Structure 1
Amino acid sequence: MRNAKFNNAAKFTAATLIGGTVLMGGNAAFAAGPSSDEAAAAKVASSAAAQQRIGQFFVHLDQHNRGQVTNQAVPQAAIAAKAPKLEGAVHPVYSLNPEFVKGTPNAPVAQFAYMAVGAKSATGQHATVWLTKSGAEWTIMNVISGTEEAVYPAKADGGQVFTEPQIHAWYRLKDGRVTALNDTAKTSVKQGVTVGSYQKLVHGRYADKLPGSAYQRSGKLGGFSPTTGVSDRTPDRGPAPVLLALGAGGLVTAAGVVMARRRRTPGSY
């Protein structure tokens, strides 16, 4: 199973759970980052500081897998031995748009959330680096194990790939249809559905969980199964995905959802 980045993950997740939403950069209407942004994000991800951070993550991942505490200092030699390298290109990651869920006319299905690029250690571990823009600068927001956020966005095939992070689903939007890219998405849309049908689907799932709803006020932050609509735990996925209230005029960040879902050891991962 995959685990969230050790550095500040607990604090970020807690803030997300308390607030119900984290607005990415304070802007509710992100557009796709242009190629210049992708190049700038790639430059940051390949910097010496980033390689240090990714290498440290891989060392901590080893410690976590051995059942050791992961908040201890990491020797520079251990970081250097990981010799992380980026894999593939930087891609924008899109996430389900709460305005689309509401049924706002002409609202896009998904909106830009962050940039992602894969990384690999010299010992064969894989991770994904998430980058967000602060002002004019791109910064590393998170590093997580696994490669989904780097691999799926590369499958656009002339369309747009987006995630419904509340249920850990990945879709392709192309020619007015939403089709599945992973098994969870297939549970939702099977062989594919029209945009209108998908809107009805997610409206039914989340419309009563938007800001100001009784759901949000009650503080209910539970798992969600696309099949049953109730909390679900499965051995191969760990804790049930956390379903947060969709953002107050903005996006509930995939980052907060995924970190909450993947963090398994309090205070570390």
Structure 2
Amino acid sequence: MRHTEMSGKRAASRFSRLSIVIALSASALLSVVGPAHAAPARDPLPADIPDYQAALNAVKSTDVRNAVCRFLRTPVPAGAGGPVQTLPDTAEPCQGLPVFTIKDPLARNEVTPGFVAGTAKPLPTEAIKLTGLVSALSTSVNGRNATVMLAPTQGGGWHLAAIRDGDSDAAYAGKAAVGTFVFTEPQIRGWYQLKLTTVEPLNDEARQGLGGQASVSLSDYQKLVKARYADKLPGSPYDNDGYSSGYGSPAKTDDTSSSTLLLVGGSSAALTVAGAAAVLFRRRRHTTTG
């Protein structure tokens, strides 16, 4: 009888330890996969967005919101090549405007100079890089939409680089999903989705860039952009004459405390912080003179 009792206690002890192990294993599994209703992972990127909290702080800041309000209060100049407007500073730029918020930033990816030059392999990690962030407004304001564009700050973090009329950049950037990348070809305002090694167009400009094809391999896309831009990369005679391919390394500028905001017109009208104006003007010049 005593032997039976001891056996029963040992069995109970083993069962108890097994239950604890199962419970701990289940807890560890849940901590990895999360509950069924957990928020989806952030859009995939060649590299994760650095200093993402700084980007969130920037788009939620009073300074950026006021800049958006000043942009929305100013009529967009008609036609390209018109005079650049300096927006006057006002004490309460958002007063009287409908309520809006600025959405969380999304990655704005471009193809790399090495990919365009043909020296990088046609692989997602070598073909695409993060060049900036874009944030759309939660709603249109007096019939207008706008996109906040952030640039990396020297030493880390993000700052306001421009505010562009419309919300197409953020709309396309938001199409990234698990297992895919979204990137832009800025010269033609083309947006593409990369699925493994297949490039698909997301807008009419991109479809034209692929010659009307529904999709091409990443290798074939590399041949297309190499033919279009390899002789226009930074440092080339084309670039030195005052044009820009748009595929140079993004300039990391110091965060400016200046409230000077400039507004340029054209098909991609944008407000820009004075420190970033040179970059925007060079890209516009290439776009408009081709």
TM normalised by structure 2 equals 0.61
CA distance 1:39–1:259, change in 2 (3 Å): farther
Residue 222 of structure 2 is matched in structure 1 by: 199
Which ranges of structure 2 fall in alignment gaps of 5 or more residues? 1-44, 253-275, 286-290
- Give the superposition deviation at 1:187: 1.2
- Alpha carbons 1:165, 1:258 under 8 Å: kept: no
Query: For the Cα contact (< 8 Å) 2:150–2:161, is it kept in 1?
Result: yes
The structural deviation recorded for 1:206 is 1.2
Q: Secondary structure at the match of 1:71?
A: strand
For 1:123 and 1:72, the matched residues in 2 are separated by 19
CA distance in 2, matches of 1:116, 1:63: 20
Alignment of 1:107-122 (within 5 A): 108-119=126-137, 120=139, 122=141
Contact kept in structure 1, 2:68 and 2:163, CA below 8 Å: yes
Structure 1 CA distance for aligned equivalents of residues 84 and 93 of structure 2: 16
- In structure 2, the residue matched to 1:140 is 160
Q: What does 1:9-28 align with in structure 2 at a 5 Å threshold?
A: none
* Equivalent residue letter for 1:194: S
Give the RMSD, CA atoms, in angstroms.
Answer: 3.4
Taking structure 1 as reference, are residues 81 and 258 closer, same or farther at Cα in structure 2, changes over 3 Å only?
farther
1:252–1:95 distance in 2 versus 1, CA, 3 Å: farther
- Paired residues for 1:121-200 under 5 Å: 122-134=141-153, 135-158=155-178, 159-189=180-210, 190-200=213-223
Contact residue 147 and residue 167 of structure 2 kept, 8 A: yes
The change in CA–CA distance for 1:245 and 1:118 in structure 2 (over 3 A counts) is closer
User: Shift of the alpha carbon at 1:245?
Assistant: 6.9
Asked if structure 2 preserves the Cα contact closer than 8 Å seen for 1:165 and 1:257, the reply is no
Asked which structure has the greater CA Rg, the reply is 2
SS in 2 for 1:112: strand
Structure 1's consecutive aligned runs of 4 or more residues displaced over 6 angstroms after TM superposition are none
Q: Residue in 1 aligned with 2:114?
A: 99
Quote the residue 2:96 is aligned against.
81
**Counterpart position of 2:105:** 90
Change (3 A) 1:195 1:176: same
In 2, are the aligned partners of 1:63 and 1:70 still within 8 Å (CA)?
no
Percent identical across equivalent pairs? 30
Q: Which has the higher contact order (CA 8 A, sep 6+)?
A: 1
Of residues 57, 62, 69 in structure 2, which corresponds to 1:43? 57
Look up the match of 1:21: none
Change (3 A) 1:176 1:99: same
Unaligned 5+ runs, structure 1? 1-29, 222-242, 263-269
Normalised to the residue count of structure 1, the TM-score between the two structures is 0.65
Amino acid in structure 1 at the alignment position of 2:173: P
| Contact 2:97–2:141, Cα closer than 8 Å, also in 1 | yes
CA distance 1:103–1:152, change in 2 (3 Å): same
Task: Name which of 38, 54, 59 aligns with 2:68.
Answer: 54
User: Matches of 1:259 and 1:58 in 2, distance apart?
Assistant: 24
